[in-house]
């Protein structure tokens, strides 16, 4: 039976639902289910299973340590070089996995988009969950390295979640842009791996920003610079020291990405089912 106070839903061209954010909240369970599905399926029918989450960063770490640490002799201050690299690699891998999952999320869920209604924002948001799980697994690797070098982080470690959030915000912001663009222009599927490759070298993963005497502000326009620096600050007992201005620039850039990403996504969302 229809209760007398059932809200009216009006469908019209160009009319965005007044209840969008309310709907998003109502569908939060679906968000959970989609994330759960992705996690559940991720390592199905693999022999090594969840170990894969460790292998990739471990190998990258070994390569970086050998090439930059040993051959090039990059300075790493008072901490062992591999530890410094891992503290940078962690947020970078989180970003790169979250970003590439989010970018491909709409197109890989075409069958849902064209057959069922729900706030589309759920799709890229839920795809980030897998990246977070992998991230938690790699944290174990970090703990192992800390024990190996008998390195104990100090009180700053409690701020780590803030930089995880900064990384995720950056990943979601860029991911929203790319996934909405990919629905219309499949070109962007090729752009994502390319961006990640370039980004790895443009972000301070293999070196510390203290090695850059000048251009620091300009460099901080890359929001991952702030995230990685922050990560190291938390894990490596305040090294490098955080510069509020540089961090501020990164935070603002990241927020800007998120808001423009949301704006573009919402603008394109109504047409997704027609062009996907």
Per-residue contact string for residues 114-143; x = within reach of another protein by CB under 8 A: xxxxx-------------------------
- Residue from 18, 19, 70, 184 touching another protein (CB under 8 A): that is 184
Residue 24 makes contact with another protein by CB under 8 A: no
Distances 227 to 83, 89, 174, 178 between C-alpha atoms, Å:
16, 11, 15, 20
Minimum distance from residue 197 beta carbon to another protein (Å): 19
Q: Among 18, 41, 49, 248, which residue sits at the site for another protein (rule: CB under 8 A)? A: 41
Largest Cα–Cα separation, the chain: 75
**Residue 274 binds another protein, judged by CB under 8 A:** yes
List all residues 6 or more positions away from 6 whose beta carbon is below 8 Å from its beta carbon: none
Q: Does 68 bind another protein (CB under 8 A)?
A: no
Structure tokens at 44: 């199905």
> What CA–CA distance (Å, rounded) separates 77 from 203?
18
Q: Pick out residues in 92-111 that bind another protein (CB under 8 A).
A: 111
CA 267 to CA 20: how far, in whole Å? 13
What does the alpha-carbon distance between residue 259 and residue 189 come to, in Å, rounded to a whole number?
22
Residue 52 engages another protein in binding (rule: CB under 8 A): no
Using rule CB under 8 A, residue 252 touches another protein: no
Does residue 40 touch another protein according to CB under 8 A?
A: yes
Whether the CB-CB separation of 93 and 138 falls below 8 Å is answered with yes
Per CB under 8 A, the segment of 9-17, 89-97, 197-205, 227-235 that binds another protein is 9-17
Exposed/middle/buried for residue 42 (C-beta within 10 Å: 0-12, 13-18, 19+): middle
In the complex, the residues that contact another protein under the rule CB under 8 A are 1-2, 6-15, 29-30, 33, 36-37, 40-41, 44-45, 111-118, 184-188, 270-271, 273-274
């Amino acid at each position: 039976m229809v209760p007398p106070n059932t809200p009216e839903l009006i469908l019209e061209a160009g009319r965005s639902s007044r209840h969008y954010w309310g709907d998003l909240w109502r569908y939060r369970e679906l968000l959970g289910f989609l994330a759960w599905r992705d996690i559940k399926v991720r390592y199905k029918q693999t022999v090594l299973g969840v170990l894969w989450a460790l292998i990739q960063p471990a190998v990258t770490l070994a390569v970086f340590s050998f090439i930059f640490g040993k051959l090039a002799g990059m300075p790493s201050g008072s901490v062992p070089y591999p530890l410094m690299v891992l503290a940078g690699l962690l947020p970078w891998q989180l970003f790169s996995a979250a970003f590439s999952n989010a970018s491909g999320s709409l197109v890989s869920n075409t069958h849902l988009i064209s057959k069922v209604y729900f706030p589309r924002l759920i799709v890229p948001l839920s795809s980030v969950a897998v990246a977070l799980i992998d991230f938690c697994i790699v944290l174990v690797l970090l703990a192992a390295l800390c024990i190996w070098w008998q390195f104990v982080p100090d009180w700053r470690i409690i701020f780590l979640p803030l930089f995880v959030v900064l990384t995720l915000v950056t990943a979601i912001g860029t991911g929203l842009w790319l996934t909405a663009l990919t629905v219309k222009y499949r070109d962007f599927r090729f752009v994502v791996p390319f961006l990640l490759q370039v980004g790895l070298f443009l972000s301070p993963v293999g070196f510390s920003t203290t090695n850059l005497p000048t251009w620091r502000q300009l460099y901080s326009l890359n929001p991952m610079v702030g995230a990685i620096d922050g990560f190291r600050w938390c894990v490596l007992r305040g090294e490098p020291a955080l510069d509020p201005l540089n961090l501020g620039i990164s935070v603002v850039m990241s927020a800007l990405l998120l808001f423009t990403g949301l704006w573009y996504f919402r603008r394109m969302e109504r047409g997704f089912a027609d062009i996907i």
